[in-house]
Amino acid sequence: MLSLEKVKSELKKYNYDYNDNILCGHTKSKVKWVLPTGIVNVMAFEQATSYLFGFSYKGVDLFPIKGDWDIANQLHIPWSDISSFKIKKGLLENEMHIKTTSMNIVMKLNKTVVNNPWIKDNYQNLEKYGYFL
């Protein structure tokens, strides 16, 4: 289960400071195939991977999630390597685009998660400090 205590505990394993700078999200889902069956269409989606995203003055960190919100790894992208950083606002989720010379990353950011008000607070905190301009 996702909880602030669990997130803080997992981040400690990677020596990452929690300063109201963590959001959660997932990879952008794509349709794998569609099977028209008359009135109803059956659609199969590629499996989305959940992530925690950390934002700091050093850069953006991506933490892929496995199992019960355990962090599997850490990818740090320094701001100096990022050539383009954009947030496309949506109704329930926002889309984050990070472009470097070697990668083009597109992820979905959750604005809120049930029973986790800290996510909405962190989102507003990061917005206030200009991470999403």
Q: Along the chain (133 residues), what's the average pLDDT of each consecutive run of 10 residues?
A: 90 94 81 50 56 93 89 93 92 90 90 88 88 64
Cα torsion angle, 65, 104, 89, 53, sign: positive
Output the pLDDT for position 11: 96
Q: Are 87 and 107 in contact (CB under 8 A)?
A: no
pTM of the predicted structure, to 2 decimals: 0.81
Question: What is the predicted pLDDT for the residue at 49?
Answer: 81
Q: What gap in Å lies between CA 94 and CA 103, rounded to an integer?
A: 20
Q: Give the pLDDT confidence score for residue 129 in this predicted structure.
A: 83
pLDDT at 130: 80
* Cα separations in angstroms, 16 against 24, 27, 28, 52, 62: 15, 22, 25, 12, 11
Burial per residue of 31-45, b for 16 or more beta-carbon CB atoms within 10 angstroms, e otherwise: eeeeeeeeeeeeeee
- Write down all domains in the chain, each with its CATH number in brackets: 4-124 (2.30.29)
- Alpha-carbon distance 101 to 12, whole Å? 30
| DSSP 8-state secondary structure symbol assigned to residue 81 | G
Residue 93 and residue 51: Cα distance in Å, rounded?
Answer: 14
